[in-house]
A and B are shown apart, each in its own frame.
Chain A
Amino acid sequence: MNVQVTRWDPETDSRPHMQLYQLPLPADGTHTVMDVLDYIYEKFDGTLSYYRHSVCNQGICGRCAVRVNGKVRLACTCRVWEESLELGPKNENVVKDLVVR
């Protein structure tokens, strides 16, 4: 699976850029966007920021929303069926990467 993630630290970067990660996860609906982000953070890139503190992972707290291929979705319940995934922040008030105010 190819995953493009919007990266941006407004404190140090003048503008956002996309970063590509290639994951050996099947795009058959068994994994969620949160699984994908966890995989990237844990295996590849410790500098990535996405909403991960005090999450329910069950679609209850509603705080982990990101833009998935253009549409706002909860990362924890959005199942991945596509080989190509584009993940971005859900709005423009970016704290860092996919985390917004």
Chain B
Amino acid sequence: MRTAQFTRLSCDVLCIGGSGAAVSAAFMAAQKGMSVALVSKGKAGRSGNAMMVGGGFGVDGYSARNILGEAQADEHYTPQVLFEKVVKASFFLSDQALAEQFVTQAPLMTKQFLEWSKAAGQDFSFVKSGLYAVSGSSVGKTIQQGIKSITGCKVYDDVMVLELLTDGGRVAGAVGLDLYTGSYLIFEAKCVVLATGGYQPHTLKNTISEMSGDGMAMALRAGARLADMEFLLYIPTAVQPSYLRGSILPYLFTIPVFMPLPFKVIDSTGKTLDIPAPFDDVAGSNKLKKLIYSYFWSTGSTCDTMNGNLFFDYSMHTDEQINQAFDFFTEHYSRWHKKGFYNGIDLAGVRELILRERRLEFALGNEYSNGGVVINERMQTDLEGLFAAGETTSGLFGALRAGDGLTEMLAHGYRAGLEAAAFAAGAARPKNLSAQAEKIVAELESVFERPVGETRVPMLTARLCSLADSGLNVVRDEQKIRCALDGVREIRRELGQVGIASKSRRYNLDYLGWLELRNLSVLTEAALLAADQRRESRGSHIRADYPGVDNHNYLCRLTAKLENGRLIQGRILPRAGRLPLPDQDYNSVADYLADIL
């Protein structure tokens, strides 16, 4: 048997993640004099979901004017207004202490973020009340600038963290796999910040490919609770031609300030899917519109809307109208992208396609996971020494995200860094954690000893995604949820038997896939359990068999915890703050939305 190679590393605060939340936390902890290590599954600053942003991010107008110095910001859009927007959109599942933290502390880190963007020569233009228009690459370069500005931060790129390590009941490190060499890194720290992003179990990906929820799964295995896993956010996403697949261009095409081309939506049976009043008047840039689209296009169609079957119909327009709209869109995005391109996509090809076919197929693709590790407003998890930040957490946005993911990343990263620094200042160095790490690795590496059968890792992954498409569909029902649950449990069993095609430890895709599926499958099971238990509709959890919003029985967050290898469910009542909790029920998600509009 091959001997695994280990390297031991030490720091005060270990930040796990390569995007804005981890970098913000590392920056704040280093500002407080801590030695910091940042470990990223991809290349830090060039990985993570922040890089996939399409439109922009923002804070309230009052803070934009008074903290960020934006003279044209609308002061009437106060932190209180943003707070209420977030809590109401969450269907009142938002932890209001977290929502307060979000509105008050996000501007502080945003100020720093804007300084990084200027130093990196990136163009973040302030477009209206508190919103900055950005591109994924400009955000990526800004995060890279942030990394450069952290004094003495050690960065470990292309290392997938596999498991948290503990010392006397306190989280005090982690063990990771260097994907290039196949050797292992043991990080020993006074405390850990988990900022590994969300999870994405579906076949169609518009997120970055690493959304296997590694941090959530590690925290779960270490004893922390997850919550809100049933709430996944969906947006129009391209499905074909293959080179366009996964692009969020269809979503951007729905926003008139980017793409001034009205559209009709039809499904593959030819049925027109209208958005009724008053929802049709909601601005395309309003975050509630994402749920409005998902709700009406999915409940209105008999087709599976998660993998296609929806079309923007542009047949009412002349060539000239289409060309004018495309000229406008192309010009808007040429600020950040090569002229004529959106990211790496040649817009001329998309224009030709629409001019030729007068329609564009799309699906409702999963963009963001509201669920994740349970935290409080100090970013503390259930586990001593473990803090969490960004999309890997839950609690801020509840059943529907109305604030920006990037803003969450900054607000959480800011607080997590400060709290981790304060914790580390009073904590001792852990003892040598090598034996613990070596035991974990020995168990994982036993996968190489198994014979390779007919079932291969990518087949299991495809099966899991297909089960998630069915059980965690935009519109769900008990039978499909339970069927998917059985299938996911079977996959988790098969993960214990499947072999790895190559024995090489160098950049082994089967091993990487197996490690990711180990995480993603347990999270998908947790999500399906919650989706089954929540016998109502709320936010992006829409049940065909329970269409009403049942505040009397389900105004609570559903949690999952691992005990002896089994997922145990629990409940958390949302913490009320400035807004009292509602006691009124609604006949549908649409009725609730109409009430808060």
Provide the residues of chain B in CB contact with A59, threshold 8 Å.
Answer: 341, 343-345
Contact of B458 among A9, A41, A58, A99 (CB under 8 A): A41
The count of chain B contact residues (Cβ–Cβ below 8 Å) is: 47
Q: How many angstroms from the CA of A49 to the CA of B505 in the assembled complex?
A: 11
Using a CB-CB cutoff of 8 Å, which residues 55-83 of chain A contact chain B? 55-63, 74, 76-77, 79
Q: Is the CB of B41 within 8 A of A41?
A: no
Provide the residues of chain B in CB contact with A96, threshold 8 Å.
Answer: 504, 506-507
Q: Is the CB of B47 within 8 A of A31?
A: no
* A76 nearest in chain B by CB position: B344
A36 CB, min distance to chain B CBs, angstroms: 10
Mask, B98-137, CB within 8 Å of A = 1, is 0000000000000000000000000000000000000011
A27 CB, min distance to chain B CBs, angstroms: 12
Mask, B473-491, CB within 8 Å of A = 1, is 0000000000000000000
Provide the residues of chain A in CB contact with B136, threshold 8 Å.
Answer: 56, 58, 60
Provide the residues of chain B in CB contact with A76, threshold 8 Å.
Answer: 344
A96 CB, min distance to chain B CBs, angstroms: 4
Q: Is the CB of A95 within 8 A of B506?
A: yes
Using a CB-CB cutoff of 8 Å, which residues 440-493 of chain B contact chain A? 452, 456-459, 462
Mask, B485-523, CB within 8 Å of A = 1, is 000000000000000111010111110100000000000
Provide the residues of chain A in CB contact with B140, threshold 8 Å.
Answer: 60-61
Mask, B194-219, CB within 8 Å of A = 1, is 00000000000100111000000000
**Which DSSP category, helix, strand, loop or mixed, fits chain A's interface?**
loop
Contact of B42 among A42, A46, A48, A61 (CB under 8 A): A61
Contact of B18 among A12, A31, A54 (CB under 8 A): A54
Confirm or deny: B51 has a beta carbon within 8 angstroms of a beta carbon on chain A. Answer: yes
Mask, B342-353, CB within 8 Å of A = 1, is 011100000000
Decide yes or no: A56 and B52 within 8 Å by CB, A62-B46, A101-B180 being known contacts.
Answer: yes
Using a CB-CB cutoff of 8 Å, which residues 203-261 of chain B contact chain A? 205, 208-210, 240-243, 246-247
Provide the residues of chain B in CB contact with A10, threshold 8 Å.
Answer: 506
Contact of B51 among A31, A61, A79 (CB under 8 A): A61
Contact of B209 among A11, A45, A47, A55 (CB under 8 A): A55
Confirm or deny: B160 has a beta carbon within 8 angstroms of a beta carbon on chain A. Answer: yes
Q: Is the CB of A46 within 8 A of B457?
A: yes
Contact of B158 among A29, A49, A53, A77 (CB under 8 A): A53
Contact of B47 among A49, A50, A61, A97 (CB under 8 A): A61
Q: Is the CB of A29 within 8 A of B243?
A: yes
Decide yes or no: A30 and B242 within 8 Å by CB, A42-B458, A60-B137 being known contacts.
Answer: yes
Provide the residues of chain A in CB contact with B51, threshold 8 Å.
Answer: 56, 60-61
Provide the residues of chain B in CB contact with A53, threshold 8 Å.
Answer: 41-42, 158, 160, 179, 209-210, 512
Q: Is the CB of B506 within 8 A of A74?
A: no
Provide the residues of chain B in CB contact with A74, threshold 8 Å.
Answer: 344
A8 CB, min distance to chain B CBs, angstroms: 10
* A99 nearest in chain B by CB position: B507
Q: How many angstroms from the CA of A9 to the CA of B186 in the assembled complex?
A: 25
Provide the residues of chain B in CB contact with A35, threshold 8 Å.
Answer: 242-243
Contact of A54 among B41, B137, B506 (CB under 8 A): B41
Decide yes or no: A58 and B209 within 8 Å by CB, A46-B509, A96-B504, A101-B180 being known contacts.
Answer: no
Q: How many angstroms from the CA of A58 to the CA of B208 in the assembled complex?
A: 9
Provide the residues of chain B in CB contact with A55, threshold 8 Å.
Answer: 42, 208-209
Q: Is the CB of A9 within 8 A of B209?
A: no
Using a CB-CB cutoff of 8 Å, which residues 22-47 of chain A contact chain B? 29-32, 35, 41-42, 45-47
Decide yes or no: A30 and B243 within 8 Å by CB, A53-B158, A95-B506 being known contacts.
Answer: yes
Confirm or deny: B154 has a beta carbon within 8 angstroms of a beta carbon on chain A. Answer: no
* B181 nearest in chain A by CB position: A95
Provide the residues of chain B in CB contact with A62, threshold 8 Å.
Answer: 46
Provide the residues of chain A in CB contact with B181, threshold 8 Å.
Answer: 95
Q: How many angstroms from the CA of A4 to the CA of B414 in the assembled complex?
A: 48
Provide the residues of chain B in CB contact with A9, threshold 8 Å.
Answer: 504, 506
* A47 nearest in chain B by CB position: B502
Confirm or deny: A17 has a beta carbon within 8 angstroms of a beta carbon on chain B. Answer: no
Confirm or deny: B287 has a beta carbon within 8 angstroms of a beta carbon on chain A. Answer: no
Q: Is the CB of B345 within 8 A of A58?
A: yes
Known: A46-B456, A47-B501, A60-B136. 7 other contacts (CB 8 A): A41-B458, A53-B158, A56-B51, A58-B247, A61-B46, A74-B344, A96-B506
Q: List 10 A-B contacts (CB under 8 A).
A: A30-B241, A46-B500, A46-B502, A48-B509, A53-B179, A54-B43, A54-B208, A54-B210, A56-B52, A63-B43
